[in-house]
């Protein structure tokens, strides 16, 4: 029965027949475990026993077989494509006849029992020699119509067997399913490459702008202390170049890694699709194990595409505040790493604004007022951006725990009850609403207490909840409408949100981990105790606009600390150890931090260069 086969034009477009080392059609092709194939002679140039070598295409480490390169599996699939190429294009195929050895005769047919092509003379021999008459022989025309895919029936009843159609039907279906799943991963990789390239472009633009400002500062002061000016400019330029070189190398390596992953995935999918589209049943059965292993490994979590933090693309130049005449110090090239933080002031030390039990802290994005939840006084104390006391927010609060302020001035408060309390910009109580558990049970019905609060870049409120049965974060619009809920492993005592919409979860000081999750609740990273921290009981977290996470660590019997991390959980350094029983923490602006201290005044820290 005839079956439809692809034309040679489709096969010719496939890059599987070209050796990526010599860029010519492969000779004696060998297939590596990563599914890339190369000429035998080319592989011998790049792989030398004993040990292993790196695949020239995907950079995967390949162990050498005991027999060396010759021990790799032959790429029989390429040889079949080469045969089909001749059959599909000209209908003619000249190769050494495996029966008589003649090298100048056109191939006329293929014997399925001898598993080889025959010249016309050997076809006649098959018709005349009695033992060969029972062999199944197909002409080239019959092969073009798919006759070679038919399975010869097994005739020995004493053998247990299944037909290859039956054996490969499920295998082919599984390969198709894996290829379909890989398409989604391919899309993720494309997005990751695009976003990483955007970070690179953003970083280059920032570096160019910093260089421009640096050069302008140099020109303004060029007439004064020219020699010292040039020395300072050179030092800053070198520092900027060093930062740019290291960061660019990291970004380029990430892009290369993603591209290599995409190459591996594309190659595996190409091989699988070739088996699906043009492979015989024998091809499916022979390739099934290797294909499924590679396609499955490529979908495992460790090869999922990741995008570096936006903070990695931050670099700027801050001009010196000193007179250009008095000093030749132009300023300093700044990276998002290496900040030196100092205590600016303490707030809430006395009078009506005295803080007795500070827990949560928030900053109004418009007025830059500072809001601190006072556990002991059962109110929210409000200070201006310089720490001067302004007013108090009251409203039948039980035990104020955390506070958040939206861009339109609404104030949200949790007070260790089952409700979020909502106040207007002038402090008037408006309403309250419940959080919703993963099982659809409201916090007031489930006996939950609400703790951490934060607002994402879309203005939605994230509320942390904990009870005896589950811990979760409930997402709401500002009018209280429930959007979604995700489960957490630890009590969401305080919450932070990063520039990449990652959620930072800090428990009370009974848990020593900080968890970074995506918006669907998948755990991305766990922050553990920093190597230079004397004590580590993380309670609060906040995130800066340049992608840095700040975590406050509490220890009632000793000084705690504030520590900085990337959005991927990489430890950057200690901001300060000058805190006691630190709780909630918030950014006042890109240069300042405010931290609440239970039983002590709050503190504002700023960085110097």
Counting Cβ atoms within 10 Å, is residue 300 exposed (0-12), middle (13-18) or buried (19+)?
Answer: exposed
d(CA 440, CA 446): 10
When mean pLDDT is compared across 150-164, 345-359, 528-542, the lowest value belongs to 150-164
The verdict on pTM exceeding 0.75 is no
State mean pLDDT over 275-290: 86
d(CA 453, CA 469): 20
Residue 366 above 50 pLDDT? yes
The string of pLDDT tens digits covering residues 127-136 is 888 778 888 8
Q: Where residue 98 falls among pLDDT bands split at 50, 70, 90?
A: low
d(CA 256, CA 253): 5
Q: How far is CA 480 from CA 435, 477, 579, in A?
A: 9, 5, 35
Q: What is the pLDDT of residue 168?
A: 77
Q: Establish how many alpha carbons lie within 13 A of residue 463's alpha carbon, considering only the half-sphere containing its beta carbon.
A: 36
State mean pLDDT over 518-525: 91
Q: What is the pLDDT of residue 411?
A: 95
Residue 91 above 60 pLDDT? no
State mean pLDDT over 334-341: 61
When mean pLDDT is compared across 92-106, 221-235, 385-399, the lowest value belongs to 92-106
Contact 585, 596 (CB under 8 A): yes
More confident residue, 442 or 102: 442
Structure token digits, residue 604? 């504002």
State mean pLDDT over 150-154: 49
Q: What is the pLDDT of residue 508?
A: 75
- Which residue in 53, 49, 69, 51 sits closest to 61, CA to CA? 53
Q: What is the pLDDT of residue 180?
A: 87
* pLDDT averaged over every residue in the chain: 83
Q: Which residue has the tokens 């020109």?
A: 219
Structure token digits, residue 339? 């900040």
Which CATH code, of 3.40.630.10, 3.40.720.10, 3.40.50.10320, 3.30.40.10, is assigned to 8-149? Answer: 3.30.40.10
Residue 5 above 70 pLDDT? no
d(CA 565, CA 577): 16
When mean pLDDT is compared across 59-63, 101-105, 299-303, 568-572, the lowest value belongs to 299-303
State mean pLDDT over 9-24: 69
Residue 421 above 80 pLDDT? yes
Q: What is the pLDDT of residue 84?
A: 60
Q: What is the pLDDT of residue 13?
A: 42
Taking the domains of the chain in order of start, what are their residue ranges? 8-149, 171-335, 340-608
The CATH class, in words, for 340-608 is mainly beta
Helix (H) / strand (E) containing 130: helix 130-133
Q: What is the pLDDT of residue 320?
A: 64
Residue 6 above 50 pLDDT? no
Structure token digits, residue 233? 């400019």
Q: How far is CA 487 from CA 361, 440, 446, 516, 517, in A?
A: 24, 12, 15, 13, 10
Q: What is the pLDDT of residue 94?
A: 62
Contact 311, 318 (CB under 8 A): no
User: For the residues of 26-94, what is the DSSP string, one character each?
Assistant: -SSEEE-TTS-EEEHHHHHHH--SSSEEE-TTT--EEEPPTTGGGGSEE-HHHHHHHHHHHHHHTS--B
* β-strand partners of 454: 462
Q: What is the pLDDT of residue 231?
A: 80
When mean pLDDT is compared across 123-132, 352-361, 479-488, the lowest value belongs to 123-132
Percent of the chain past pLDDT 90, that is, above it, reads 33
State mean pLDDT over 573-592: 89
Most confident of 336-350, 459-473, 504-518, 555-569: 459-473
Q: What is the pLDDT of residue 515?
A: 95
Residue 170 above 60 pLDDT? yes
The string of pLDDT tens digits covering residues 546-559 is 789 999 998 755 56
Q: Tell me the three state secondary structure of residue 421.
A: strand
């Amino acid at each position: 029965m005839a079956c439809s086969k692809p034309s040679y034009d489709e096969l010719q477009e496939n890059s599987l027949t070209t050796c990526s080392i010599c860029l010519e059609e492969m000779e004696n092709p060998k297939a590596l475990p990563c599914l890339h194939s190369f000429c035998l002679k080319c592989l011998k140039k790049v792989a030398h026993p004993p040990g292993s070598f790196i695949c020239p295409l995907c950079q995967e480490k390949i162990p050498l077989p005991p027999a060396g390169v010759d021990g790799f599996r032959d790429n029989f699939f390429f040889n079949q494509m080469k045969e089909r190429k001749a059959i599909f294009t000209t209908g003619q195929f000249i190769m050494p006849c495996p029966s008589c050895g003649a090298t100048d005769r056109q191939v006329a047919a293929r014997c399925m029992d001898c598993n080889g092509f025959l010249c016309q003379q050997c076809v006649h021999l098959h018709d005349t020699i009695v033992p060969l008459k029972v062999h199944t022989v197909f002409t080239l025309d019959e092969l073009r119509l798919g006759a070679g895919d038919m399975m010869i029936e097994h005739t020995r009843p004493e053998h247990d067997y299944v037909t290859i159609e039956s054996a490969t039907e499920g295998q082919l279906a599984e390969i198709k399913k894996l290829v379909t799943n890989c398409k989604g991963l391919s899309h993720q990789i494309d997005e990751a490459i695009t976003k990483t390239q955007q970070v690179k472009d953003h970083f280059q633009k920032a570096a160019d702008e910093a260089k421009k400002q640096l050069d302008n500062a140099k020109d303004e002061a060029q007439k004064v202390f020219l020699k010292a000016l040039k020395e300072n400019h050179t030092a800053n330029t070198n520092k900027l170049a060093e930062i740019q070189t290291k960061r660019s190398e990291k970004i380029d390596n990430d892009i290369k890694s993603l591209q290599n992953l995409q190459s591996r995935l594309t190659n595996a999918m190409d091989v699988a699709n070739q088996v699906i589209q043009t492979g015989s049943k024998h091809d499916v059965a022979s390739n099934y194990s290797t294909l499924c292993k590679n396609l499955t490994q490529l979908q495992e979590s460790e090869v999922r595409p990741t995008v570096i933090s936006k903070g990695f693309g931050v670099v700027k130049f801050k001009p010196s505040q000193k007179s250009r005449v008095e000093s030749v110090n132009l300023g300093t090239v700044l990276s998002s790493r290496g900040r030196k933080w100092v205590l600016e002031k303490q707030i809430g030390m006395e009078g009506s604004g005295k803080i007795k039990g500070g827990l949560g802290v928030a900053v109004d994005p418009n007025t830059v007022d500072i809001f601190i939840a006072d556990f002991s006084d059962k109110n929210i104390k409000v200070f201006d951006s310089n720490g001067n006391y302004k007013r108090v927010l009251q409203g039948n609060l039980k035990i104020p725990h955390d506070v958040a302020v939206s861009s339109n001035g609404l104030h949200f408060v949790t007070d260790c009850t089952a409700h979020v309390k909502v106040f207007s910009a002038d402090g008037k109580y408006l309403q309250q609403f419940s959080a919703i558990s993963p099982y659809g049970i409201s916090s007031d019905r489930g006996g939950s207490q609400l703790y951490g609060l934060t607002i994402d870049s879309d203005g939605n409120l994230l509320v942390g909840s904990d009870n005896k049965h589950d811990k979760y974060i409930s997402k709401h619009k500002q009018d209280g409408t429930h959007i979604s809920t995700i489960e957490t492993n630890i009590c969401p005592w305080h919450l932070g949100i990063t520039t990449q919409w990652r959620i930072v979860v800090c428990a009370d000081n009974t848990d020593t981990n900080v968890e970074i999750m995506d918006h669907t609740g998948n755990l991305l990273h766990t922050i553990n105790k920093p190597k230079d921290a004397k004590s580590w009981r993380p309670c609060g977290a906040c995130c800066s606009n340049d992608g840095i996470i700040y975590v406050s660590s509490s220890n009632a019997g000793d000084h705690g600390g504030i520590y900085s991390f990337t959005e991927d959980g990489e430890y950057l350094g200690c901001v300060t150890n000058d805190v006691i029983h630190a709780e909630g923490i918030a950014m006042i602006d890109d240069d300042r931090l405010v931290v609440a201290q239970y039983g002590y005044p709050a503190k504002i820290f700023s960085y110097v260069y």
